[in-house]
Structure 1
């Protein structure tokens, strides 16, 4: 079997920053200190009105192509829930903007917080089956475009960002076994009700109470926080056990853990429940917020740069959220 490995990771953030103080100026009753303590976010990057996920994706991919020969890429996969158009696929437009060869494959896939795990699995499959030798995996999300301006709860959580990862043929298999899961019964708990084929986007939507003074319409993102939390704490510990078992590993064999950066409280809860030392567990979304499918690659890049993980380390990656969708794998650095 042909083996694969992550070679390079880059990230890109918009220039505009939304701070807790800025949100407090709009909503004087909103306690920014409590949000920072519980959610773990102080600042987040947000796109401008005319800035899209494609723009962020192009910038992230351009950074990685400064040190990687674009002619080696033979597949582009783009994870986003903020596509440029309903059709064509955003990955096709990205291929042209990057000036990649026309004999590359390219497609989008619509996933949120589990997206990077799925993307790595797809890239591994393409390489292991000799359909590609070099895959450009891009995650790019602009959830802030989906959030109502009066929904300060969700505005305090989410930020915008993009990442680009090169997965390439390698002598050793460094992307190990994957475990995936899905429960579409939870779809209603993290959803944008209008805008698809089922419910058209309304021109004059009714403003709804989204609890605790937050407001939204059916055109906007809705998140049932308590239900998302319950799903996570019941599903993810089993997922970790399953992926360790599938890779014939014990939890003590893992050098570092990188989970989707949903919020500080949730990550603290999961770490303690799994009895993982805080020094082996990434938890830092203070300056960027929850960037959905980009949180794991951003965290992995930061851990590599800060020498929290090094060559030969085994790192457990875990993503979970909207769908419900979840996935995990173990990689060797």
Structure 2
């Protein structure tokens, strides 16, 4: 049993926060942010917007492109670190889009989540368990940003992206993948629980609290990404019997333009074959790869038969790469 990638979709909030606007609440500037990250603006979810709404819209767009109906979907995998409900949001999305035949679950691997989700979904297709799967990457990191910390608040935006994978008896268009993690570097990027109070029940102290804002060692994350992402994609290309010349488009997690430039250079992939929408949206975590993919498909850049190399990397620390042929 092979896999075909047949649809993409995305959704972002309408509210835009530019670098200039951000400089009014924290000591920074458009030049400082743009030169260091490549980001010029980001989209932010309003108080009444939800992750499930964005994810549902992205999924519906992807299902429509694949020329399927929601009732054709067997499985929904939601990659997110910011669910509306800590018990999970995938099932709410399943209900919202009318995918009555689908099972749904959340997967958490931060900015690597979409690639991890695609690889996870692929296993269900390879075993014959499911035929039509939607993988969604969605995050609303603005909920967890310290807006007085200029090292992190300039980076993150909100959004959702989705992709449809279908069983295909004729051939396999998922040409290779590799996943990795290194818990010794977990401290470099965190959105960690913090106890704020205790309730005593007899002699038992029960901690209660919430999650503290995002913390990051940007220098270490940069070093990690520029070393590990070219390495893992090189492994995937070797296993798929491909070279850099065979890759039509490189789509990396949209974290920092300097990282994307460095990875492409190390792989020998020219800049014109790197998909980047970082300037418009910032770092949307698990949503960044599918949003960039969907925009490129709908703009006519990515065509049926094109070979795409994608890689996500981030908190955990985790990273992963996959190479697939677009379309059926």
TM norm structure 2: 0.90
> Deviation at 1:59?
2.4
> Deviation at 1:141?
0.1
1:142-221 correspondence to structure 2 within 5 Å: 142-170=140-168, 171-194=170-193, 199-200=194-195, 219-221=212-214
From 303, 319, 329, the counterpart of 2:312: 319
The C-alpha deviation readout for 1:99-153, integer Å capped at 9, x for no partner, is 221x422110011111111111122111111110101111110111011121233
8 A contact 1:54–1:84 mirrored in 2: yes
8 A contact 2:188–2:217 mirrored in 1: yes
Is it true that 1:15 corresponds to 2:8 in the alignment?
A: no
Q: 1 CA distance for matches of 2:197 and 2:138? A: 26
Q: 2 CA distance for matches of 1:284 and 1:312? A: 22
Tell me, what secondary structure is at the counterpart of 2:138? strand
Tell me which residue corresponds to 1:210.
none
Structure 1 unaligned runs (5+)? 204-216
> Deviation at 1:290?
0.9
> Deviation at 1:202?
6.4
- Decide whether aligned partners of structure 1 residues 190 and 309 sit closer, same or farther in structure 2, where only a CA change above 3 A counts: same
Tell me which residue corresponds to 1:301.
294
TM norm structure 1: 0.88
8 A contact 1:23–1:152 mirrored in 2: no
Is it true that 1:286 corresponds to 2:279 in the alignment?
A: yes
Structure 1 segments, 4+ long, off by >4 Å, are: none
> Deviation at 1:200?
2.8
The C-alpha deviation readout for 1:43-88, integer Å capped at 9, x for no partner, is 110111232322221222233455531111011111110122222x
More divergent stretch after superposition (269-278 vs 78-87): 269-278
> Deviation at 1:282?
2.0
8 A contact 1:256–1:314 mirrored in 2: yes
8 A contact 1:201–1:219 mirrored in 2: no
The C-alpha deviation readout for 1:207-235, integer Å capped at 9, x for no partner, is xxxxxxxxxx9711101100101111221
> Deviation at 1:201?
5.2
Q: CA RMSD in A?
A: 1.9
Structure 2 unaligned runs (5+)? 199-209
Tell me which residue corresponds to 1:113.
111
Tell me which residue corresponds to 1:60.
58
